[in-house]
Structure 1
Amino acid sequence: MSQHEIAKAKAVATYNTAADYFDHPVSSFWHCFGRQTIERIALRPGESVLDVCSGSGGSALPAAEQVGPHGKVIAADLAERLIALAEAKARVKKLENIEFRVADMLDLGYPDSSFDAVVCVFGIFFVPDMTAAVKELWRMVKPGGRLAITTWGPDLFEPADTIFWDAIGNVRVDLQRSFNPWDRISKPSGLGELFVKAGIDTHDIQAVSGMHSLNSADDWWAIAMGSGYRGTLAQLDAETFEQVRNANLSCLYREQVKSIKTNVVYAVATKR
């Protein structure tokens, strides 16, 4: 099995499992940053949009609203349970201009220059060869169209992230993570270098610092259960899971953690 296939399998398992908490109110940042990404590309009525790694619709649904009934949005994600969440929300909003696909962004099969905008929010780093992934997305952008890639900035979810991985290391050192997949592109320089390697010229790269409030330590645990951390938690037996959960909650209470970092880097490139 190739590196890409292994990464796909891990992502599918993790986010299908995390789907039960993915849209928890405390994880509103998914949709906040998705909407802000769409605002940055100034979609016009009637335009066509491809949204990959679309999750439960954080950027695809705002895009469908922006392009209107004469526009079209394709939302693709590997995790069928997240796609099902997005489809349900589209029905509630009565959005009929959006199509959902359970599919790999590297194997969608669309011709060159198919879309006015291609969007990837918090997903490009799941692909081992990010340069190849960006090239593939750029291929599908029409002349005059835009490619928007949004990724996490440095120190994501700190101080809770360190607390989480310390607790994991205390019980399962084999599962302790030493780096995050987005670390390579968590600064404008790194994301800019990725675009350069893909043969794309863009000067529209912006880092935005942010904090996400927690009403209680339980809020953090809901975020962990509805995100990539779930893949690690799913590998614990019931007793060890409770040990990790209790260690997280007690440390957050003890240190009176009331917010976590949610730094983001936005990049938009226009095809000349």
Structure 2
Amino acid sequence: MNGHEIAKAKAAATYNTAADYFDHPVSSFWHCFGRQTIERMALRPGDSVLDVCSGSGGSALPAAEQVGSQGKVIAADLAERLIALAKAKAEVKKLDNIEFRVADMLDLGYPDGSFDAVVCVFGIFFVPDMADAVKELWRMVKPGGRLAITTWGPDLFEPANSAFWDAIGSARPDLQRSFNPWDRISKPAGLRELFAEAGIYADDILAESGMHALNSPNDWWAIAMGSGYRGTLAQLDVETFERVRNANLSCLHREQVTSINTNVVYAIATKR
């Protein structure tokens, strides 16, 4: 398999495994930032929207509500279990203007200029060549349409993130990670540079600082279980898993951690 296929398989496996915790109430930020991305786009009734890396519908469902019955939303994700969650929520909300696809965002097969808006929230960094991915998403935007990419800002989930990787490093040094895939685009300049590499001028970039409250360290563990950290945790045997969990939570107890960083960068480009 090439680099993209390997990354694709890894992301699908990780988030299918994490689906059981993905919509846990303590992880409400997924849907908060998805909704804020859609609000920033100011979609119009009747618009056509493509939402990739759509997860359990954090941005696709608000988009479907905003474009109304005359509009259309396509929600695509590699993880079929997340798509199933999103589909169930759409049925409860009686949204019949949304179509769900278990598919790769780089292989959707839509013609040039198919959508008024293309959206990717917390997903562009799963692709080894992010500039190529941005180009492909831009290709599907109509003239006058917009591309929105939302990514994590610096110091994501700190101080819990560092405590997690310290615990992993002590138990399984071979699994320790020294960087995050979104580090390169965690500031407006990096995200603007990514768009420029794809030949696009991003005219609207906003960095937003935020904190997410934890009622207890156990809240953090639920977040880890429902996110990309699950891919690492899934490689641990039962004994090591418990050792990592206890070390991670003990550190948060000791440091009296009651909140974690959730900094975000929003970017929107308009096809002139």
C-alpha distance in 2 between matches for 1:185 and 1:2: 23
Give the ranges of 4+ consecutive aligned residues of structure 1 lying more than 6 Å apart after TM superposition. Answer: none
1:59-98 correspondence to structure 2 within 5 Å? 59-98=59-98
Q: Is the 8 A contact 2:188 2:265 kept in 1?
A: yes
Q: Deviations over 1:66-93 (max 9, x none)?
A: 0000000000000000000000000000
Residue aligned with 2:13, SS = helix
C-alpha distance in 1 between matches for 2:93 and 2:202: 34
Residue aligned with 1:181, SS = coil
- The letter for the 2-side match of 1:254 is R
Aligned to 2:141: 141
Aligned to 2:250: 250
Aligned to 1:228: 228
Aligned to 1:216: 216
1:179-218 correspondence to structure 2 within 5 Å? 179-218=179-218
Paired residue total: 272
Percent identity of the aligned residues?
Answer: 86
| Distance apart, 1:249 and its partner CA | 1.1
C-alpha distance in 1 between matches for 2:43 and 2:142: 14
C-alpha distance in 1 between matches for 2:48 and 2:79: 23
Aligned to 1:163: 163
Q: Deviations over 1:172-202 (max 9, x none)?
A: 0000000000001000000000000000012
Q: Deviations over 1:20-49 (max 9, x none)?
A: 000000000000000000001100000000
Aligned to 1:177: 177
Alignment partner of 1:5 is 2:5: yes
Unaligned runs of 5+ in 1: none
Unaligned runs of 5+ in 2: none
Q: Is the 8 A contact 2:203 2:270 kept in 1?
A: no
C-alpha distance in 2 between matches for 1:42 and 1:86: 22
* TM-score, L = length of structure 2: 1.00
RMSD: 0.4
| Distance apart, 1:203 and its partner CA | 2.5
C-alpha distance in 2 between matches for 1:21 and 1:41: 29
Residue aligned with 2:112, SS = coil
Aligned to 1:263: 263
Alignment partner of 1:56 is 2:31: no
C-alpha distance in 2 between matches for 1:148 and 1:201: 12
